[in-house]
Amino acid sequence: MSASPATVIAVAALTGGVGLASALAASVFIALPEAARRLLVPRLVSFATGTLLGAALLGFLPEAIEAAGPGRSHALGAVVLGGLLLFFVLEKLVLWRHSHDDAYAEAPGGDGHRHAVGPMILWGDGLHNVVDGVVIAAAYLSHPGFGVATALAVFTHELPQEIGDIGILLHSGMGRLRALGLNLLVSVAAVLGGVAAAWALGTALAVLPYALAFAAASLLYVAVADLIPGLHRHAGLGRAVEQLVLILMGVAVIWLTQHPAGGAGGA
């Protein structure tokens, strides 16, 4: 049975809201004084780490195991492993392309290649937003409250990325209004990914547990491979305690969003 129109509309609203909110918030954020940005971004990254870990380990994986049954736990583990390896390869390709373009940009006469980085960032961000849309759709089909919690987790890790992307676009020579407009337009890709996933997963519900496991891999990879290493660059006991508190706050927000009355969630 295919997903109902109400479900598709809800997924479109969630994915569109996340994309619009992160793009607009990044636009406002980048206008703040540099001192304020340096103060807020590391703390936002700590909080985002908690929301991603909470959504993946307290939401996606338990929901996937419950939907598939304990007898398929090994298959779900294989999907998570495959997802982690896939995101590793994709990020390697992106990093290789970044270093390739940067090398040309630094070479004599390499300005044209530096300007080419902007469109590449937009295409990469668009693909990433499609994946985010699929992640939100899979969560919502599992449980509407879990979909809301996942949308929040996606927003918290999208905001620092959106800020970085706008900075790269401006550095590539793009005007401020054009950079903000294109960044906002690319956010629509999350809606396309979410709506397509809602129809596809609603039609083939047997695939939903594996989609949830793959989504867990996506959030885990971002948290463990991209965000946590950056947190370790800030030394000192006080900063470590602050990071841990913010991570736990992120986990708590996801838990409370899924279980507003303190009870167990689930479909």
pTM of the shown model: 0.74
Domain annotation covers residue 113: yes
Give the C-alpha separation, 196 to 174, whole Å.
Answer: 32
Domain annotation covers residue 265: no
> Which carries the bigger pLDDT value, residue 232 or residue 109?
232
56 is in which domain, residue-wise? 5-258
DSSP letters spanning 93-155? HHHHHHHHHHHHHHSTT-HHHHHHHHHHHHHHHHHHHHHHHHHHHHHHHH-HHHHHHHHHHHH
Q: What percent of the chain has pLDDT over 90?
A: 22
* One-letter amino acid of 161: Q
Dihedral of CA 78/83/89/92: which sign? negative
Domain annotation covers residue 28: yes
Given this model, what pLDDT does residue 262 score? 42
DSSP letter assigned to residue 236:
S
Structure confidence at residue 96 as a pLDDT band (50, 70, 90): low
CB 18, CB 154: distance < 8 Å: yes
Which residue matches tokens 């937003």?
129
pLDDT digits (tens, 9 = 90+) for 17-62: 988 888 888 778 777 787 887 888 888 889 989 998 998 999 889 9
Mean model confidence pLDDT for the chain: 80
Domain annotation covers residue 166: yes
Domain annotation covers residue 266: no
DSSP letter assigned to residue 172:
T
Angle CA 101–117–26, to nearest 5 = 135
Given this model, what pLDDT does residue 168 score? 66
Domain count, the chain: 1
Domain annotation covers residue 263: no
Given this model, what pLDDT does residue 119 score? 65
Domain annotation covers residue 264: no
Domain annotation covers residue 9: yes
Q: Is the pLDDT of residue 106 over 80?
A: no
DSSP letters spanning 172-185? TT--HHHHHHHHHH
Closest CA to 184 of 24, 32, 15: 24
Q: For 95-104, 203-212, 254-263, which range has the lowest pLDDT when averaged over its residues?
A: 95-104
